[in-house]
Amino acid sequence: MHRRTIGSSILFVIYAARACAALAATDAAAPMPSAMDERVRACTSCHGAQGQGLNNDYFPRIAGKPADYLFNQLISFRDGGRTYPPMGYLIAFLPDDYLRKISAYFSALQPPYPNADTGNVSPAVLQYGERLVTHGDPARKLPACAACHGARLTGVQPGIPGLLGLHASYIAGQMGTWRSGTRHATPPDCMHSIAIKLTDRDITAVSSWLARQPRPADPTPAATGAGPLPLACGSQPQ
């Protein structure tokens, strides 16, 4: 009886091991979920269920931005143009085709915008920020934000992002990375060329004003501009 029990136990272990191996092989060969909302859960865990962004400095709104812009950012995180280790690790081995599908998915979404930033910012600072956003500073050859990002500031197809629905701290932080050269784009890197002309006062004013703007009536990016940009920009071929 004892030998029979031992023999049965050994057979059970062998059969169980074979079953586990077969299950593992099946799981490895199983196709990914067909629905993109299942595939992008790693994205939505940080950027919100519909890419609307979270209420902090790190996870901005990605919904509704031009697909080419989103794709360029994913490539940049993957290949070192932007440095944020969690993003780099997440997409390190994803191919271009898959990144394009992710970009198209979020580009098609338009969830509600977050509440505009509030806080103790003086009217003079906001007025200065509005002037830079809408008119720039010709004396410093500093173009208006609206000259590139669209009159509604919702971005321009195919590769210029919208600037609304973002927190002031995030906008200011990104301007700082452009200015320092720790964030890069396809040459010619127009944002770096602009950012190195910005003072801390400029950055505070622009980011504060942008973050306080309401959701536009039409939040979609504008069609490709009819005229040339104020300066050459590798992410937006003319």
Residue 50 lies in a domain: yes
Does one domain contain both 155 and 108? no
Sign of CA dihedral 227, 109, 77, 216: positive
Does one domain contain both 85 and 145? no
Number of H helices, E strands in the chain: 11, 2
pLDDT digit string, tens, across residues 96-113: 999 999 999 999 999 999
pLDDT at residue 65 greater than cutoff 80: yes
Given this model, what pLDDT does residue 27 score? 41
Does one domain contain both 136 and 195? yes
Given this model, what pLDDT does residue 145 score? 98
Residue 10 lies in a domain: no
pLDDT band per the 50, 70, 90 thresholds, residue 31: low
Contacts of 37 (CB under 8 A, 6+ apart): 44, 105
- How many other β-carbons are positioned within 10 Å of the β-carbon of residue 122? 10
DSSP 29-89: HSPPPSSHHHHTHHHHHHH-TTS---SSSSS---TTS-HHHHHHHHHHHHHTSS--HHHHH
Does one domain contain both 134 and 206? yes
Model confidence, pTM: 0.83
pLDDT mean over 56-78:
94
CA distance 39 to 211: 30
Residue 42 lies in a domain: yes
Residue 26 lies in a domain: no
CA distance 163 to 184: 18
Domain of residue 85 covers: 34-112
Residue 56 lies in a domain: yes
Does one domain contain both 86 and 153? no
Given this model, what pLDDT does residue 115 score? 83
pLDDT digit string, tens, across residues 115-160: 888 889 999 999 999 999 999 999 999 999 999 999 999 999 999 9
- How many other β-carbons are positioned within 10 Å of the β-carbon of residue 59? 18
Sign of CA dihedral 84, 87, 93, 95: negative
pLDDT at residue 75 greater than cutoff 60: yes
Does one domain contain both 204 and 131? yes
**CATH number, domain at 39?**
1.10.760.10
Question: Residue with structure tokens 């979609």?
Answer: 220
Residue 237 lies in a domain: no
Given this model, what pLDDT does residue 226 score? 65
pLDDT digit string, tens, across residues 40-55: 999 999 999 999 998 8
HSE-up (13 A, CA, CB side) for residue 71: 19
Residue 228 lies in a domain: no
DSSP 10-32: HHHHHHHHHHHHHHHHHHHHSPP
The answer to whether 171 and 207 have CB atoms below 8 angstroms apart is yes
Does one domain contain both 55 and 93? yes
Does one domain contain both 105 and 50? yes
Given this model, what pLDDT does residue 36 score? 87
CA angle 71, 102, 183 (to 5 degrees): 35
Residue 222 main-chain phi, psi, to 5 deg: -70, 155
Question: Residue with structure tokens 């500073």?
Answer: 137
pLDDT at residue 229 greater than cutoff 70: yes
Question: Residue with structure tokens 């074979």?
Answer: 18
Nearest to 176 by CA among 202, 209, 139: 202
pLDDT digit string, tens, across residues 174-223: 999 999 999 999 899 999 999 999 999 999 999 999 999 999 999 999 99
Does one domain contain both 131 and 198? yes
Does one domain contain both 82 and 45? yes
- Put residue 236 in one of left, alpha, beta given phi > 0 → left and psi -120 to 50 → alpha: beta
User: How many domains is the chain built from?
Assistant: 2
